[in-house]
């Protein structure tokens, strides 16, 4: 295999707003460390932490070092020891700017720093609480820092949550677009940084085989699951006002849906890919409130067990209202109204404190039309599934039926599969490496465009409205697979959830 040499990203100053927050130390700095280790950062790339707490570059670097030295820098569950040489190179790039996000003086100081560089390139990474997004962006604009007319690119990276409903997402987009063009905006969804998510498009569009059966003639329904074993992990204050629907569906789950359901783009450029994604998310049928209630199930984890360990209920978590009605589990049925998918339901579910961690897409094919082997004990042929597992066991598997060797005709479930780890050396990564590299090189393919985000909220809004008006939140024991009502969403359609794990 010939090694493809990846070019070094252009020089730039990356301003990390919210430098003392969790995201920077847990994900962004480890990702920058990995990029630096792989030689993908230019020698003139600088990283400036911006936050209101007074600190120096040295203190900032020491804090990050202490955190990263003691923990994994390879992403969740992947430990990797910090290499002193790589760290020393990264530390030299670090600087710190003390400043209030609302104070124009902060932006004047940032402007001075950019003026001192020979390239003028800057990325403003908003790793702040969402309430600061419009404030920071507006001030960057007022200070002239988003002006690219003197050469040098100016880009803004916005984290999720991008709005809390359709109206607020539209308002935030309008605010961003008042001070810069869409070309300068990088809305992050970290699911798009996952190799396995990117691979869905490659699998679909580089293997002629799939297209032949990727439609409503052969596919019965699609299931998209993001099951987590963790609870709210100290994020009670944020989560209680957010809930599973807003936290996971219009962003991560819809990105997976788009990857599975979009049409092949005319080219692999950012605009062609994002137009197809926006189209398919825009084709999700907007349910009436009545239908939204019928096609959704909300759950909340109660006290449960993991082995012999007691797991607390959601309402016992720190900073959660004792009578909270916030959902930690959601299951939805949505329909994609276009030529390819008409009549094929997409069932989506996500939950915290479930029995296993499993993010997967299960494509369920229509069963063989006729029970060929009538003499066998199987009355109806089972449907075949294609399982695309995003995490933790990355890969793809086809569930098939085969004859068990022997004189009798007995069918057995078998699998045809591809596991990433069998073919590729997976270097530890946080998922942010690709996204940061793409932002440095100006490739917006893996970032959400305004219409993509708004279409997502448009599809989710009927559920929000219906729930605000009524409906039940079902309790499920922590460590279990969600409430019974979640299973019924499928059994009433004579289907069932693909087994987790």
Of the candidate residues 173, 223, 359, 434, the single one contacting ligand BG6 (CB under 6 A): 359
Minimum CB separation from ligand BG6 for residue 242, in Å? 8
Structure tokens at 301: 């984890």
Given a contact cutoff of 8 angstroms between Cβ atoms, the answer to whether 17 and 106 are in contact is no
> Where in 217-236 is the site for ligand BG6 (CB under 6 A)?
226, 228
Q: Which residue lies nearer to ligand BG6 by CB, 9 or 330?
A: 330
Shortest-Cβ-distance residue relative to ligand BG6: 247
User: Counting contacts by CB under 6 A, is residue 360 touching ligand BG6?
Assistant: no
User: Counting contacts by CB under 6 A, is residue 327 touching ligand BG6?
Assistant: no
Minimum CB separation from ligand BG6 for residue 327, in Å? 12
Q: Which residue lies nearer to ligand BG6 by CB, 97 or 199?
A: 199
Minimum CB separation from ligand BG6 for residue 158, in Å? 13
Structure tokens at 468: 């605000």
Given a contact cutoff of 8 angstroms between Cβ atoms, the answer to whether 495 and 346 are in contact is no
Minimum CB separation from ligand BG6 for residue 376, in Å? 40
Minimum CB separation from ligand BG6 for residue 460, in Å? 15
Structure tokens at 427: 């270097």
Q: Which residue lies nearer to ligand BG6 by CB, 10 or 312?
A: 312
Give CA–CA dist 280/282, Å, rounded: 5
Give CA–CA dist 342/336, Å, rounded: 6
Minimum CB separation from ligand BG6 for residue 160, in Å? 6
Minimum CB separation from ligand BG6 for residue 80, in Å? 17
Structure tokens at 400: 């098939």
Give CA–CA dist 248/368, Å, rounded: 34
Annotated active-site residue in 65, 190, 252, 498: 252
User: Counting contacts by CB under 6 A, is residue 196 touching ligand BG6?
Assistant: no
Minimum CB separation from ligand BG6 for residue 228, in Å? 6
Q: Which residue lies nearer to ligand BG6 by CB, 110 or 197?
A: 197
Residue with tokens 């409430």: 483
Sign of CA pseudo-dihedral 237, 243, 244, 247? negative
Q: Which residue lies nearer to ligand BG6 by CB, 228 or 451?
A: 228
Structure tokens at 201: 């498009």
User: Total residues at the site for ligand BG6 (CB under 6 A)?
Assistant: 5
The binding track of 242-261 with respect to ligand BG6, each residue x by CB under 6 A or -, is -----x--------------
User: Counting contacts by CB under 6 A, is residue 433 touching ligand BG6?
Assistant: no
Using DSSP's 3-state secondary structure scheme, residue 190 falls into helix
Give CA–CA dist 392/396, Å, rounded: 12
Using DSSP's 3-state secondary structure scheme, residue 106 falls into helix
Active site includes 4?
no
Q: Which residue lies nearer to ligand BG6 by CB, 247 or 360?
A: 247
The binding track of 69-108 with respect to ligand BG6, each residue x by CB under 6 A or -, is ----------------------------------------
Pairing between strand 185-187 and 154-158?
parallel
Query: Which residues, 6+ apart, have CB-to-CB distance to 494 below 8 Å?
Result: none
Give CA–CA dist 135/139, Å, rounded: 6
Pairing between strand 473-477 and 296-302?
parallel
Query: Which residues, 6+ apart, have CB-to-CB distance to 483 below 8 Å?
Result: 297, 299, 329, 474, 475, 476
CA dist 403 → 309, 376, 377, 406, 436 (Å):
42, 10, 12, 9, 49
Q: Which residue lies nearer to ligand BG6 by CB, 26 or 315?
A: 26
Q: Which residue lies nearer to ligand BG6 by CB, 76 or 100?
A: 76
| Angle subtended at Cα 374 by Cα 373 and Cα 380, rounded to the nearest 5 degrees | 85
Structure tokens at 113: 């720093």
User: Counting contacts by CB under 6 A, is residue 276 touching ligand BG6?
Assistant: no
The binding track of 158-187 with respect to ligand BG6, each residue x by CB under 6 A or -, is --x---------------------------
Give CA–CA dist 212/2, Å, rounded: 31
The binding track of 134-163 with respect to ligand BG6, each residue x by CB under 6 A or -, is --------------------------x---
Binding site for ligand BG6 (CB under 6 A): 160, 226, 228, 247, 359
Give the residue numbers marked as catalytic.
252
């Amino acid at each position: 295999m010939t090694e493809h040499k990846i070019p070094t990203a252009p020089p730039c100053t990356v301003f990390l707003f919210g430098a003392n927050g969790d995201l920077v130390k847990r994900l962004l700095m480890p990702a920058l460390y990995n990029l630096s280790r792989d030689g993908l950062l230019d020698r003139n790339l600088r990283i400036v932490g911006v936050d209101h707490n007074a600190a120096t570059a040295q203190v900032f670097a020491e804090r990050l070092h202490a955190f990263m030295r003691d923990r994994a820098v390879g992403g969740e569950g992947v430990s990797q020891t910090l290499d002193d040489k790589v760290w020393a190179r990264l530390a030299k790039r670090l600087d710190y700017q003390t400043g209030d996000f609302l104070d124009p003086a902060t932006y004047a100081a940032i402007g001075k720093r950019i003026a001192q560089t020979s390239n003028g390139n800057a990325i403003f990474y908003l790793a702040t609480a969402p309430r600061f997004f419009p404030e920071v962006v507006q001030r960057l604009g007022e200070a002239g820092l988003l002006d690219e007319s003197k050469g040098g690119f100016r880009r803004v990276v916005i984290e999720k949550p991008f709005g809390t409903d359709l109206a607020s997402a539209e308002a935030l987009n309008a605010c961003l677009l008042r001070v810069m063009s869409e070309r300068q905006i990088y809305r992050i969804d970290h699911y798009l940084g996952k190799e396995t998510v990117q691979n869905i498009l490659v699998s679909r569009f580089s293997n002629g085989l799939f297209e032949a059966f990727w439609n409503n003639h052969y596919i019965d329904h699609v299931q998209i699951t993001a099951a987590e074993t963790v609870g709210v992990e100290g994020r009670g204050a944020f989560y209680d006002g957010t809930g599973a629907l807003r936290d996971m569906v219009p962003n991560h789950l819809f990105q997976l849906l788009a990857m599975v359901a979009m049409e092949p783009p005319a080219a692999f450029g950012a605009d062609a890919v994002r137009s197809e994604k926006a189209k398919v998310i825009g084709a999700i049928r907007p349910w009436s409130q009545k239908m939204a209630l019928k096609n959704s199930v909300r759950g909340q984890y109660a006290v449960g067990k993991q082995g012999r360990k007691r797991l607390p209920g959601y309402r016992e978590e720190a900073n959660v209202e004792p009578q909270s009605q916030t959902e930690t589990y959601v299951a939805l049925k949505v329909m994609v109204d276009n030529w390819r998918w008409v009549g094929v339901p997409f069932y989506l579910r996500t939950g915290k404190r479930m029995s296993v961690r499993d993010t997967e897409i299960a494509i369920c094919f229509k069963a063989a039309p006729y029970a060929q082997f009538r003499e066998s004990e199987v009355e109806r042929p089972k449907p075949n599934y294609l399982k695309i597992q995003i995490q933790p066991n990355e890969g793809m598997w086809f569930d098939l039926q085969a004859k068990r060797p022997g004189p009798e005709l007995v069918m057995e479930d078998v699998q045809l599969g591809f596991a990433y780890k069998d073919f590729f050396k997976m270097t530890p990564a946080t998922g942010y490496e690709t996204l940061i590299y793409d932002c440095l090189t100006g490739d917006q393919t893996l970032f959400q465009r305004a219409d993509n985000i708004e279409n997502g909220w448009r599809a989710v809004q009927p559920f929000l409205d219906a729930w605000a008006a009524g409906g039940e939140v079902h309790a499920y024991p922590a460590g279990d697979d969600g409430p019974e009502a979640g299973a019924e969403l499928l059994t009433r359609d004579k289907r069932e959830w693909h087994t987790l794990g």
